[in-house]
Amino acid sequence: MPTLGRLLLVSILAAAPAQAQAQVAHLDVDLREAPRRLVHARLQIPVQPGALTLLYPKWIPGEHGPTGPVRDLVNLRFTANGRTIPWQRDDEEMFAFHLQVPGGVSEVEATYDVLPGVGDGDFSAGSSVTPNLAILSWNQVVLYPEGVTSDDMQIQASGRVPEGWKWATSLPIARSTSSTFESERVSLTTLVDSPVLAGRYLKAYPLGRIDGVDHELDIASDDESMIDVPDSILAHYRRLVREANALFGAHHYRRYHFLFTLSEHVDHFGLEHHESSDDRVPERTLVDNSLRVANADLLSHEMTHSWNGKYRRPAGLATPDYEKPMHGSLLWVYEGLTEYYGWVLAARAGLFTPDQARGELARDVAVFSTRPGRDWRPLYDTAVAAQILYGSPTAWSTLRRGTDFYDESTLLWLEVDTKIRQLTHGARSLDDYCRAFYGPPSGAPKVIPYTREDVERALNQVAPYDWQSFFVARVDSATVEPPLAGVAASGWKIAYADSSTDYYDAIETLNEESDLRYSLGLRVASEDGKISDVVPGSPAAKAGLGPEMELVAVNGRAWDEDRLKDAVKRSAKGGALDLLIKNDEFFRDVKIDYKGGARYPELVRLKGSTDVLSKILAPRTSTSPPK
Ligand SMILES: [Zn+2]
């Protein structure tokens, strides 16, 4: 609802440049108590007398949901000219605070604390500080006037980190000392888009300059030894930067920082920005081969977003502020195409071996070959409902589908890629669409929104085809058949072997589970034997097993992962699968009727076909470092 304060602010922002100079808000953030999970902030914001509504950012870019941690905003106080101004939270919108600005007041000062990630927030609202590092997401420490777009609000931010810590960011910095920094005057959009990684142990690695623009890997960890990255690994990240630029043919950033956090005490995820990404993984990711492989495509995914998601953005996600709800219906492009190229670029950069890259595709094919939820919920609905599907439990994932628009879209865009190659007899590929849609000219960050029709039109210019009907069949329609035509067209098919691929093992390690979905039809947590998921129609389902039950014993002996896997393997030679199951406090013997032995997905060559997949995954640039 418009308020007097909002109307006045809008008119102020439209005022002359000299006057606009006075309209800059100042935000100062103190991270010195971050290890105590306490962050202090002070915001000076230009105002006019009258009613004023200040908003705390609610819909967070890249998180596709109302995930702003407003519950963790405390100790909120407003003053003007040294006098307290009372405030009142809106009765309906918990992210809005109403004030009455007294006559003669031109600036209100807000002070508040934020309790970063001590609750159960999602993504950046999750755990973000440890005794040794902190990730500052500016949306968590700022308020902005209702009715002002994030592009229009001008702000200058400063910060102070604990003594002896270092910091890294893509935020344009005007002045700094070893423990403080002050930004240039930027829009609220740029500020929120430019998180800061601070840490006691933090090291910056240059990844190369392309067309005058620097790329940097900034690594922070709780363990000092983890920030020493071997050259062999750095070489892949340098190639990633070159491969991404070769793919798109331009960039839309003035610098690029991977803010890479290796810690057991932060939430693990990646969050994209125009000029950086906030990448958080387990502490041993760069020294443990399984963890490294399982996270090999995280940085390539997040960097791809600088083009697909940040520069070009679905119109429904290109909102003017952090209050307007986002529409996720094109997330199968925003996240889906990014998931595809995150995988492709990881292979082109050598972060995946070809075998590991095929291992990931094999896993996607297997997952969607046992997805009865496709029969009721089209891909489209998983995108529209993303805001309620992130963080869904694993239980009955095959029925629920969750945020399937990531992995299923790898299959979808592989089919688009191979279709373009077929239609043009190998002359063009999805790479050409990327260059046309996301490419030149290079420049500073900006957003060009797009619609589904824009995507179809651009594809049509690369390879004329009825792309509209193509997507209707695969995105809008509920059908249990997964989109596997691209896998066959790439020259490969799924097969099931009695041993698992490197990639499969890596994901089991990362998820801390035994994934027996393709034999017994269940997933079991490594730690306590809890069944996290059962595939409908599988031998485990037919035996009456379901999520949340616990596996206590296998063939009369206490459960452990190896015993269970050995028993599954021996089933091929007639071995028994007699399980003792605990369901809440009730115990039950369960006999699984299964003789199929171990079954793990892998890709094998389709006889008589061309190996298009290897062409897709091959580097575009020289694999030796530039001179
Ligand atoms: Zn993403």
Q: What is the distance between the alpha carbons of residues 411 and 433, in angstroms, rounded to a whole number?
A: 17
Q: Tell me how far the alpha carbon of residue 363 lies from the centroid of ligand 1, in angstroms.
A: 19
**Burial readout 91-126 (b: 16 or more C-beta within 10 A, e: otherwise):** eebebbbbbebeeebeebbbebbbbbbeeebbbbbb
Sheet order of strands, 531-534 included: 513-516, 522-525, 531-534
pTM of the model as a whole:
0.95
Q: Tell me how far the alpha carbon of residue 304 lies from the centroid of ligand 1, in angstroms.
A: 8
Q: Tell me how far the alpha carbon of residue 63 lies from the centroid of ligand 1, in angstroms.
A: 9
Q: Tell me how far the alpha carbon of residue 277 lies from the centroid of ligand 1, in angstroms.
A: 10
Q: Tell me how far the alpha carbon of residue 298 lies from the centroid of ligand 1, in angstroms.
A: 9
Q: Tell me how far the alpha carbon of residue 272 lies from the centroid of ligand 1, in angstroms.
A: 7
Share of the chain above pLDDT 70, in %: 96
pLDDT at 12 over 70: no
Residue from 89, 108, 137, 135 nearest 43 by CA? 108
Q: Tell me how far the alpha carbon of residue 337 lies from the centroid of ligand 1, in angstroms.
A: 9
Q: Tell me how far the alpha carbon of residue 338 lies from the centroid of ligand 1, in angstroms.
A: 6
Q: Tell me how far the alpha carbon of residue 296 lies from the centroid of ligand 1, in angstroms.
A: 14
Q: Tell me how far the alpha carbon of residue 465 lies from the centroid of ligand 1, in angstroms.
A: 28
Q: Tell me how far the alpha carbon of residue 462 lies from the centroid of ligand 1, in angstroms.
A: 25
Q: Tell me how far the alpha carbon of residue 448 lies from the centroid of ligand 1, in angstroms.
A: 18
Question: pLDDT-derived band of residue 116, with 50, 70 and 90 as boundaries?
Answer: confident
Question: pLDDT-derived band of residue 342, with 50, 70 and 90 as boundaries?
Answer: very high
pLDDT tens digit string along 15-53? 434 344 448 999 999 999 999 999 999 999 999 999 999
Q: What is the distance between the alpha carbons of residues 294 and 325, in angstroms, rounded to a whole number?
A: 33
Q: Tell me how far the alpha carbon of residue 196 lies from the centroid of ligand 1, in angstroms.
A: 19
Phi, psi of 384 (to 5 degrees): -60, -40
pLDDT at 5 over 90: no
pLDDT tens digit string along 377-409? 999 999 999 999 999 999 999 999 999 999 999
Give 501-527 as a 3 state SS string.
CHHHHHHHHHHCEEEECCCCCEEEECC
Residue 352, helix vs strand vs coil: coil
Under 8 Å CB-to-CB from 544, ≥6 apart: which residues? 590
Q: Tell me how far the alpha carbon of residue 592 lies from the centroid of ligand 1, in angstroms.
A: 39
- E strands in 115-177: 133-136, 144-145, 154-160, 166-169, 173-176
Q: Tell me how far the alpha carbon of residue 412 lies from the centroid of ligand 1, in angstroms.
A: 16
Q: Tell me how far the alpha carbon of residue 305 lies from the centroid of ligand 1, in angstroms.
A: 7
